[in-house]
Structure formats: structure tokens, C-alpha cells
Amino acid sequence: MRLIIPVLLCAGLAQAGEFAVLASGGRLHIDRHQTEGSQITLFTSSGTIEMQADQVRGFEAEDAVAQVAPKASPDPSSSAPSQVPASPQQMADRAAAKYGLPRGLVRSVMKAESGFQPKAVSPKGAIGLMQLMPATAQNLGANAQDPEQNVDAGTRYLRDLLEKYNGALWHALAAYNAGPGAVDKYQGVPPYPETLDYVRRVEREWSRTNSGKGMD
């Protein structure tokens, strides 16, 4: 089984293009598409993605997608105290929207990684909500000790892995857990009990939350 996850491959909605509406219910931002028989090629800013025609429900013009409302300017006359820090779930949702991932998926990864505990540290030294190794966080230009940066960097890393493996969820999750080198070595999910259990836990949690209201 190869589960395909839509990844938003654009910096913003200002770029020209269209959205491929996938059978899974997600939308994938693309520059254009080409159909040849039962095969559809999606052209993105970073390359191409090939998939079977039955995996694509249709296409929508970009201007048909609702724009995100701008943030309201703060009232200078307000004497209210500073905003309450965002919860881990809110940080997950915000990062998911930023990087074009289903928010339920990011929440499920966060739950499997840290149980929504910002100060979680693994025996191997992984840090925070998305359990980033210090070297990985450094490569991503993030401070792993800062919850907001931790979640942003971890979600960006997950998005990058989904792009690397052309949307194959199990491959991306296995690479997040065991490293891309292990996935490349075995050309798929490595036969590590910890990694196999991790992939199943994330997928099971996402399936559970995806059946509830408001979780996409």
C-alpha cells in the first residue's frame, strides 16, 4: 500500500496555477497538469509528481480558493495583557497551514513524538514537541528548545520528507523516525520494530482524528 498525501508546494496563493483535488480529499497546489491515458503528471515549482488518474478527482482554478483573511491590527488603546501562549495543538495547526499539510497529520505526529509535552526529551537527545535532534534543528535554522520554532521546523521537515518521497506517507514517517538514510537503504520502511510501530501509531491516530469534526 502506498498512501499519497497532498503537499502544498507553493510559497503563497499569489502564484499563478491551479489546485489538483485528490480523491483523498486534499488539495495540491500545482502550476499545471498533463493527462496521458490513465496517468496524470502534476507540474510543481520543484518538479513533477506522477499519479494514476483515479487518484485525482478534478482541478480547480486558483482564484476559486478562498483567500486567508488578514490578521486584525491590534487596538493601540487596549490595555489587555500580552496574548496567552498558543497550545501545542494550536501551534501544530498553524504550522500545518503554513506548510500545506493536513493539520490532523501534524497533530498525530506531535502526539506520537512527545504526547504534546513541550519539554519532552528522549533518551537519544531528541527535544520538544516534534522531538528534533539538535543537529536536525540546527540544519533547519531553529532553536529546538523554543516550542514555536520546534513545531515550525519539525513540520517543515515533515513536508520536505513528503516531497522527497513524492507524497508516500509511510516513507516520510519512517524517515522522520529513523532517518532518510534508513528508508533509502531499504527502499521503503526499514524493518525496525520501533519504526514500524511509530508509522502505525501515527496513521492510526490520524485516521481516528480524521473521523471527527474539524480535523483535516
Residues designated catalytic: 113
DSSP 8-state code for residue 117:
-
Contact 150, 132 (CB under 8 A): yes
Please state, in angstroms and as integers, the Cα–Cα distance from residue 131 to each residue in 1, 12, 95, 134, following that order.
27, 27, 15, 9
Within 13 Å and on the Cβ side, how many CA atoms surround 173?
A: 27
Give the Cα-Cα-Cα angle 30, 6, 120 (nearest 5 degrees): 130
User: If you ran DSSP here, which 8-state letter would residue 63 be given?
Assistant: G
